Each structure stands twice: as structure tokens, then as C-alpha cells.
Amino acid sequence: MAARGLRGLLGARPRSTTTATAPLCPREAVQDAALDAAEDAVDALPYEQMPGPRPLPLIGNTWRLLPVVGQYQVSDLARVSALLHQQYGDCVKLSNLVGRPDLVFVFDADETERVYRHEGPTPFRPAMPCLVSYKSEVRKDFFGYLAGVVGVHGEAWREFRSRVQRPCLQPQTVRSYIGPIEDVTNCFLQRMQEMRDDRGEMPADFDNEIHKWSLECIGRVALDTRLGCLDADLPPDSEPQKIIDAAKFALRNVAILELKFPFWRYIPTPLWTHYVRNMNFFIEVCTKHIDRAMERLATKQDGELSVVERILAEQSDRKLAYVLALDLILVGIDTISMAVCSILYQLATRPDVQDKMYAELERVLPDTDEPLTARHLDQLAYTKGFVKEVLRMYSTVIGNGRTLQRDMTICGYRIPKGVQLVFPTVVTGNMARYAGRADEFLPERWMKNHDPSLDVHPFASLPYGYGARMCLGRRFADLEMHVLLAKLVRKFRLEFHHPPLDYQVTFMYAPEGELRFKLVER
Ligand code: HEM
């Protein structure tokens, strides 16, 4: 049972062509000899001619995202992107936004590819203005020359990223977390069993429980500790409960600060003041746990090093570990939690897909209680294809972006430096011209030796972004989702017996409503 929404808007588009409703991208008319040459195209159209909603005098286009009077709701951004494509074509300009550069939506995956491949050694992702302000102004004293990767650009970003890249992405290090993530997941499944009501269903706020699982996983990776978020009956003033509250605040309010009219840039609104307090609390937690890891490392005799220990052992600066932990927690909590809400919803509402996953797990893990190993995970091709297919059809991060660092011709228009490009993967991943049988949910398309007619354009669905700036937590994210599915589906069947949920953007793209899954023993 697929969620309503984008399908209806995109399903009817034929492959490889644009429809009459979408104006032709001038790139198709300008007979470019080669994609690269397009950059210097002399016959490019001026930026001013690019189609898009017309700005109003003085207030530009920002009003379109305001409550009540605005025509676009933040919660409906995924649908809005699809509408922009339908109405204006492959390249759409949203200009005159108060307090921020113009946005240009690129719906042409070949053009997305060209931008990514030419982005140079220090790609600029326009993201999280509140975090930029917090790191570079409010807490300049703490971050100084080591501000991390999120909201940091140029050489400062490159220097930090090059120092943390290896420990975060090395497959061998990530694999050493299979056991710890499995332990956390076992506790979560135990809690799920205890939480069942008399119909065997999860409570209305089950998404909150998913957040606790993801916090516990991230704490294990970024802080080298078990935070205790999955303990029953947490007192309101306990550290785990405070971390959960702080994470929830970040999840619910950052979208409002970032996507609506940015009043906080001009006056310290109550929401902004709360945001700063919240961030200060995260710094406190990170500092405390990394200091403890440092003490443990000093007395450690042998054994494999964790990510945190590796960084502490290899780098002379403890600040690096504090700041990395903060970035991983800030970016990791929402993304993985919302991806898991979406994954479990799709699993519960697609019983035939779940049966196939179970068959794979029964084969790979004949003994339900056998601890998971890398060898087991390597064989879970269908389960991994399932995760990729959820992220293609319901891209948790609805799109990625890049600020142009030089003028560039895209879709036949000369776009000036400074404009923010948006690659709406939630739309392009579902376009019939980029994925065979795009509106069908087919995990098989991601497996080896699949039918080539099911191929997906490699730049149409990029859930973790691309290139030097690609998601730093992607290997951990995949590991956590694969372990959760393996443990859950091997032992239980997940069902959903309520009206279908709609997908909405609350910063991330996920099903909106009560996730009252029914958990049934196999
Ligand atoms: C399913 C879950 C996740 C999705 C879909 C996701 C997606 C993304 C995307 C699209 C980007 C931008 C990449 C680019 O600009 O090319 C990103 C960046 C990032 N992600 Fe993830 N992410 C996920 C989970 C995580 C987790 C669990 C962590 C931490 C453990 C994490 C840490 C980061 C960091 C630190 C960056 C910034 C990298 C940089 O700017 O150098 N992500 N993620």
C-alpha cells in the first residue's frame, strides 16, 4: 500500500521525454556537442529568462512559504517540488527570497551529474543557516578553527573532513560495530514486545521509540558509550531523557527556523534562544563522554579501537573528537530515525515484500539467535535492495544542494555564482524517464543480474548525496538499518491495520501519523 502524494503527479510521465505540460528544457533545443562544453555555451539563455514563480514587488517569493497566505506549505515541499517541475520544466528558479540567495531546482539528472562531477575539491552545500550562525558567531569561542563539517566550507571543511573521513567510512571499522549495534537493536526489540497493547500494537508515539533506538546507536558510534535511552521509565531529569528531549526539539523546530521567514536573523526570538540552549547542552554531553573515552584509551591494553578512540589516538587535538561527535549527532538523529519510520511503514504495508525478505533471512540466518556477522550481512541482497528502494521512492532527505562557486550553464541557462542549486531526488528518483517501472516498488532492481529495463539513472536517486561531501555517516546508517531489519523480520511479522498514512516533510520526508504497527511472533 503506497502512500498517496507524488505518485499521482509523476507516474504518468513517459520515459526519456518531457510531456506537453512541462515546457521543453532549452538544453534539448540548444544542440550541445558534449555535456562539458555546455559550460561555455555562448548561446546560453540569460538567467533572468529561466522559468519559475514570479516574485512579488518588495516581498519576492518568500511569502509563498508563509503560513495561511502562502501557497506552499513546508510540510508539502516534496509535492511542491513535483508541481514546480510539472508547471515550469526541468530547471526552475525561485527568486527574491528574503535573507537567502535564489534557489534553482534541477530536475534533469544528466545536468545534476555534470554539476557534481565539476564541483571541485571543496563542494559548498548550503545547509543549516542556524547552525552556521551558532558555530561561527554564538559559540566561536568553542569551535574556533575546528568547526566540523556541517555548515563549514572551503579549506576549513576540507581540513576537518580529511582528518575524520577514514575512521568514519573505513568498511573494516564500520564492521566492528555489527555486534554493538546488534546489542542496541536487541534491547529495542525487547522493548517493542513489552510495549504491545492488548491488540499487539505499538503505542501512538512509536516514532519516539525509534528515535531512542537511533540515539542509542549514535551514542555508541559518536560518543563510544551506551547512553541508556532505551531504559524503561526514564526520570524526566535523567541525562538520557534530556538528550531525547533535546533531539526532539531539534527535530521539530529546526525546520521552522530554517525554512520559514528567518526572523531569528534579526532579533533573538524565543525559538532561537531555545535553539542556542539546546545546542549548548549537546556540546556539554559530547565533551563529557569524549573526555571519558580519552581516559579509557589511556589505560587500554589492546583490542580494536572504536571510531572515537581511533580519532583520539591518531590526532593530537581532542577538540576534533568533540566537534565530530556533535556533527554526527546533529545530522544523524533525524535522518536515520525518519528513514526507519519510513522503512518500517513500507515493510508493514507490503506483506509480499516482507515475505521475500523473510525467506532471504531464513536462508542466511537459519538459527534465529546466532549473532550477526559481516558474512551474514553480505548475503542480504534483497534486504539491502529494499532499503534502497524505500530511499528511491520516499527519499528521506528530499533533495541535496550545492551553492554555485562560479557561473555555470545548466539546462541552457547561464546561472550566476552564488545561486543555490537544489537536486530534488524525491522527484527525480520517481521520474519515469530515470527509472524503469518507476511507480512500482521493486527491491529487485538493486540486485545483481536484475532486468536492465529496471535500471535507475545513477544521479536520479542519491539518498546520501555525492562526491567529496557525501554523507559521512552513510556506512553506519546502512549498517543500522540492515541490522534492524535482519533482527526484526527474522523473528517477527510487522503489520499495519489503519488507514494509509500520507508522507510529509517535517525537515525529513516521512509518513505523518501514528505508527501503530502490530508485532506478531513468527
Ligand atoms: C538514512 C539516513 C541518512 C541519510 C538519507 C543521509 C543523507 C545525507 C545527505 C544527502 C547528506 C549531504 C551529502 C552531500 O552534500 O553530498 C548528508 C551529509 C552528512 N551526513 Fe548523512 N544521512 C543519513 C544518516 C546519517 C547518519 C546516521 C550520520 C551520522 C552518524 C550522518 C552524518 C552526516 C554528516 C556529518 C554529513 C555532512 C558531511 C559533510 O558535509 O562533509 N548521516 N547525509
Q: What distance in angstroms lies between residue 174's CA and the mean position of ligand 1's atoms? A: 15
Q: Of the spans 36-45, 201-210, 270-279, which averages the highest pLDDT?
A: 201-210
Mutate to test the pocket of ligand 1, among 471, 475, 479, 483 (most ligand atoms within 8 A of CB): 471
Is the predicted pLDDT of residue 511 greater than 70, yes or no? Answer: yes
pLDDT at 6: 47
| Cβ–ligand 1 contact at 219 (below 6 Å) | no
Annotated binding site for heme: 471
| Cβ–ligand 1 contact at 218 (below 6 Å) | yes
Q: What distance in angstroms lies between residue 172's CA and the mean position of ligand 1's atoms? A: 19
Atom of ligand 1 nearest to the CA of 157: 41
| Cβ–ligand 1 contact at 151 (below 6 Å) | no
CB 413 within 8 A of CB 522: no
Write out the DSSP string of 355-397. HHHHHHHHHH-SSTTSPP-HHHHHT-HHHHHHHHHHHHHT-SS
For 229-260, what is each residue's pLDDT tens digit?
999 888 888 888 888 888 778 766 776 777 66
Is the predicted pLDDT of residue 24 greater than 50, yes or no? Answer: no
Is the predicted pLDDT of residue 490 greater than 60, yes or no? Answer: yes
Q: What distance in angstroms lies between residue 472's CA and the mean position of ligand 1's atoms? A: 5
Is the predicted pLDDT of residue 177 greater than 90, yes or no? Answer: yes
- Complex ipTM > 0.90: yes
The single-letter DSSP state of residue 37 is G
pLDDT at 56: 55
CB 393 within 8 A of CB 11: no
pLDDT at 501: 97
Lowest mean per-residue pLDDT among 67-71, 257-261, 317-321, 405-409:
67-71
For 423-476, what is each residue's pLDDT tens digit?
999 999 999 999 999 999 999 999 999 999 999 999 999 999 999 999 999 999
Question: Span 483-495, mean pLDDT?
Answer: 98
In the chain, what percentage of residues exceed pLDDT 70? 85
| Cβ–ligand 1 contact at 297 (below 6 Å) | no
Is the predicted pLDDT of residue 28 greater than 60, yes or no? Answer: no
For 83-107, what is each residue's pLDDT tens digit?
889 999 999 998 877 667 888 999 9
> What is each CA distance from 486 to 67, 214, 267, 340, 362, in whole angstroms?
42, 16, 49, 13, 10
For 192-217, what is each residue's pLDDT tens digit?
999 999 999 999 999 999 999 999 99
Q: What distance in angstroms lies between residue 41's CA and the mean position of ligand 1's atoms? A: 34
The pTM score is 0.89
